[in-house]
Amino acid sequence: INNASEEDVIRVMQLSERPHWGPSDSNATENPNLRLEAYIDAARRGAAVRILLDRYFDDPENPLSNSATCHYVREVATTEDLDMACELGNPAGLGIHNKMILVTNRMEHFAIIGSVNGTELSQKGNREIALEINSVELHEFLAAMFDQDWPKSIYLPMIFNDYLGPANHLLISEVLY
């Protein structure tokens, strides 16, 4: 991640990624989330960064929530005009429990998979681990999954293209006998 630059891509899928570490009333300047700041620095160097966080277990009222993280990331991306996005998702209907980082770094393809969340406790106290695997095949498989899980936007003009209104005649759509 620290070597990522232009034309590199970083995809992050996490159950939890805090906007900052330390107490909830702190901030990213006083107690930065070192992982999150590494993603932001990669975007500053020109890498495309996509962060997908769990929506199912998220509490938007919590200042350390995934919602707060996405708000922070979007604010930095907009202010600095970075190729960086953060979305909340629930692709399987039961939340995101995945802890995965995918990095395409020039000619190498890394998949970092394990149990490490983006919380301070996960990094410093729980002894959680992750494996870094340099494999094109594994990276491509997991990147396809990530891209499929990334929330899609549908714009209404596309929905109403060739729209046919309600039938103005008798329409039988089901028969019960």
- What is the pTM (predicted TM-score) of this model? 0.84
pLDDT score of 123 more than 60 = yes
Contacts of 145 (CB under 8 A, 6+ apart): none
Q: Which amino acid is at 53?
A: L
pLDDT bracket for residue 120 (50, 70, 90) = confident
Q: 116 and 123 in contact (C-beta within 8 Å)?
A: yes
pLDDT bracket for residue 107 (50, 70, 90) = confident
